[in-house]
Structure 1
Amino acid sequence: MHTLDEIDVEILSLLGEDARRPFSDIAETVGLSGPAVSDRVARLEDAGVINRFTIDVDRSTIRGGVPIFVQADVGGASADVDPLRERIGDADAVEHLFVTAEGDVWFYARAEGRNVRRWLEELLGNGDLEYRVTLMDDVEWRPSLGGTAFALTCAECGNTVDSEGESATIGGDAYHFCCPSCRERFENRYARLEEGA
């Protein structure tokens, strides 16, 4: 198992700033060749560290709306969080969605100016849920990888995978394990589930 080194973290940081940055530009910054950067990015994709390359659209430039931040108090009832999270996440006006450790759902959206209350009632339900709405003056979204410690987690036990760990492709997906016994337990359970299917 190859752990992430400083160059991997720097590559991730550069791609986080601009996912369309050419590998030749990244190579110049990190001191590698373009093909070496391409190989590292492919390895990070295979390992599941990079899941996709996306764009970050500033919706304020393409449509209006009232920028609001909503804090919905679900009350820690985990059964209620998933349907609410899905419903909110599917709304076109919602740009960022968060679930707190307490199980509450917070989100940032650009709601239609004249009907904010009606839109929220339709989205959250009439009186089913307590929520607070804050009108936003300015929003800046800056996800950062700087200073973040990256670590893969074991698919079997959840522990951190270090240089002693192993990787395996099972059923077409890449999995990482902290030790050979976790890999063996996972493979055995996977095989039993495949036989029962």
Structure 2
Amino acid sequence: MRSLDETDLEIIALLLEDARRPYNDIADRVDVSAPTVSDRIDRLERLGIIQGFTVDIDRSSFSDGIEVLIDVALCASQNGTVTTDLAAVEGIEHVFMTSDARLLAVGTLQSQDVGPSLLSALDAGQIESYRVHLIQERAWEPSLADRSINLTCESCGDDVTENGRSLRFDGGLYHFCDRECRSAFEDQQTPLAESS
């Protein structure tokens, strides 16, 4: 595996500005061919650096609801699917779980539907309390702050360089600095898989 170079970072920055930008436009800006841009974007997706291309929709322009931020304080006992359960509610666009057991969601809902939507997605015993805030204004400006992306070895924590290896395992993508670290990781996972 090759490490990310300046061309990769420029491609990522251009996609952050406009994810629908044509490959030939990107190619002109980074001085490579359009097929090279396509290959690099495919590689960045395989590495898990680019996880998808999305559309940011203003639901309030075609929905009867209002845009709200829902802040849910969860009880200590909860299942591991609360984020995906809440994300499945019609009108919910983004869901975040914080380290202090708070569930934050942004969506466009009718005000009278917030409580029933929460109870349809989560068990009442999981909810300690919740608050609903009307969103007045929002901004989202993704960027590469220091224009560097370093992959870290799953085994030893070192940076992954051109000698690196990747492994898809149990639904995840893992990166390693070399063959030995990948082998060590696989050896640690084998007993877990055999005991299941």
TM-score normalised to the size of structure 2? Answer: 0.79
Q: 1:60 to 1:144 in 2, by over 3 A?
A: farther
Mapped pair 1:5 → 2:1: no
Cα distance in 2 for partners of 1:18, 1:117 equals 36
Amino acid at match of 1:112: Q
Counterpart for residue 69 of structure 2: 69
Superposed counterparts of 1:41-52, under 5 Å: 41-52=41-52
CA distance in 2, matches of 1:81, 1:195: 25
> 1:130 aligns to what?
129
Structure 1 residue 142 and structure 2 residue 167: aligned? no
Partner of 2:106: 108
Aligned to 1:98: 96
Give unpaired runs (5+ residues) of structure 2: none
Q: Separation in 2 of the partners of 1:194 and 1:21?
A: 43
CA RMSD in angstroms, aligned pairs only: 3.1
1:138 is displaced (CA, Å) by 2.2
Q: CA deviation at 1:69?
A: 0.8
Unmatched tracts of structure 1, length 5 or more: none
Corresponding residue for residue 36 of structure 2: 36
Residue 146 of structure 1: how far off its partner (Å): 4.0
Deviates more, 1:137-146 or 1:21-30: 137-146
Q: 1:191 to 1:52 in 2, by over 3 A?
A: same
Aligned residues: 194
- Contact 1:65–1:112 (Cα < 8 Å) also in 2: yes
For residues 113-162 of structure 1, what are the alpha-carbon distances to aligned partners after superposition, in whole Å with 9 as ceiling and x for unaligned? Answer: 444444445445558421222111123333333435412132335x2433
- Equivalent-residue separation in structure 1 for 2:172 and 2:113 (angstroms): 45
Q: Deviations over 1:86-115 (max 9, x none)?
A: 221111111111111223111111111444
Q: Is the 8 A contact 2:3 2:162 kept in 1?
A: no
8 Å contact 2:164–2:179 — kept in the other structure? yes
State, as a whole percentage, how many aligned pairs show the same letter: 36
Give the Å deviation of 1:194. 6.8
